[in-house]
Amino acid sequence: MNLSKLGTLLSGGSGIEQLMDDLGHALAASGPSPHMLGGGNPAHIPEMEKIWAGRMREITDDPASLRRTLAIYDPPRGNPGVLSAMAALLQSEYGWPVGPENIAVTPGGQTAFFFLFNLFGGRRPDGTPGKILFPLMPEYIGYANQALEPDMFTSLRPAIERTGSHSFKYHLDFTRLNPGPEVAAMCVSRPTNPSGNLIPDAEMQRLAEIAEQRGIPLIIDNAYGWPFPGIVFGDAKPLWTDRTVHVMSLSKFGLPGTRTAFVVGPPEVAAAISSMMAVTGLANGNFGQAIAGPLIESGEVLRLSRDVIRPYYQRKRDAALEAVAEFFPDSLPYALHRSEGAMFLWIWIENSRRSSRELYEALKTRGVLVVPGEYFFFGEPDDGWKHRHECLRVSFAMGEDDVRAGLKIIGKEIAR
């Protein structure tokens, strides 16, 4: 087949696709039963699964609700009742001055970011390039291949603060953060996948001020943050300004299969996302909004995030940290990023003789699946900065026995 330039770009594969294919083959191969510490799937929380089962019964037991969910298109922007409920929740909980006109639904956060990056980035009407700046690497692996034009992404290395003999934290390096006219938008995740970093309120405020001065949007990925699922272990507050664009997803709330996300920002951004949704997908799927809509309207979504989801992951985080302390000898040259949210440990093996990819391959043969850190650094050339090849992302969302067994093997492999 003779593909177009765009067709070649979109169908040419990606690092994450190759990695997931590799993991799939590892699962199918003979050998030790794999400890799956590499994926981003949320944990199966029994209390939340009971709620999903109850909501499904409520939908199927009500003919009108079932018909509304299965047999009627929603508008491209999303279900009007859910949009109003979401706006009311954000007003009452955070005091944000938003209405339904500030919100648009997309089929998952991945689609939302594909729309947003290509809405702002790329060739402008005057012919000049527009870039998306990620001011704090490492960042979410799923962003890396979403640009429809080459060289659309640019990024900055972090400032690294040593917080203990085996701990560290990334910070925005404001000495290097000076967006030029080519930067069309900035994007951060909070908390951050892969590192569990929570950008402090003061740094977020300063970032928002830079966005305001440059007249560009600040896109904030709340996949693990506010208002749901609220997997935030540190002290911080969500930020709202006239230039912030938030993406909120139901995935880590426990509904990844529904592919439902909300874009919350200026009305013109929400309208543009709605138009893009109509062109690419006609309308959003109804299931996620039907299941979660009443929970959003009642505010129950906040209670579940605060009283069920956050404590569940915090217990799993604490158990994983205890396993690291038990299985990683103090003499090992490792450091953990301060775990302030999300569901991952980010392990830095400083001055390792093997790259993160080589460690990944060695661990795979021993039945442990993680993610090499190099995939989370993009938007700048690989100029030999060792740190980008010295980190591993480890999920602690799986069963505690699996996490402990996997971390024990990782400790032994690092010691080699």
What would the pLDDT profile of 192-208 be if each residue is shown by its tens digit?
999 999 999 999 999 99
The answer to whether residue 26 scores a pLDDT higher than 80 is: no
What is the share, in percent, of the chain residues with pLDDT greater than 70? 95
User: Cα–Cα distance between 386 and 384 in angstroms, integer?
Assistant: 6
| Cα–Cα distances in angstroms (integers) from residue 12 to residues 8, 9, 79, 145, 375, in the given order | 6, 5, 35, 10, 17
pLDDT band (50, 70, 90) for residue 103: very high
What would the pLDDT profile of 46-79 be if each residue is shown by its tens digit?
999 999 999 999 999 999 999 988 998 999 999 9
User: Cα–Cα distance between 8 and 12 in angstroms, integer?
Assistant: 6
pLDDT at 8: 77
pLDDT band (50, 70, 90) for residue 230: very high
Cβ(56)–Cβ(292) below 8 Å: no
Planar angle of CA 237, 188, 208, nearest 5 degrees: 60
pLDDT band (50, 70, 90) for residue 283: confident
pLDDT band (50, 70, 90) for residue 243: very high
Beta-bridge partner residues of 335? 348
Residue among 321, 410, 387, 396 nearest 170 (CA): 387
Cβ(167)–Cβ(200) below 8 Å: no
What would the pLDDT profile of 315-335 be if each residue is shown by its tens digit?
999 999 999 999 999 998 999
Q: How far is CA 207 from the centre of its chain?
A: 19
pTM given for the model: 0.94
pLDDT at 99: 97
Pairing of strands 368-369, 35-36: parallel
Q: What mean pLDDT do residues 235-249 have?
A: 96
Please provide the average confidence, as pLDDT, over all residues in the chain.
93
The answer to whether residue 308 scores a pLDDT higher than 50 is: yes
The answer to whether residue 30 scores a pLDDT higher than 60 is: no
Residue with tokens 């006219």: 181
Domains and their CATH numbers in the chain:
5-44+306-415 (3.90.1150.10), 72-303 (3.40.640.10)
User: Cα–Cα distance between 207 and 178 in angstroms, integer?
Assistant: 10
Q: What mean pLDDT do residues 163-189 have?
A: 96
What would the pLDDT profile of 333-351 be if each residue is shown by its tens digit?
999 999 999 999 999 999 8
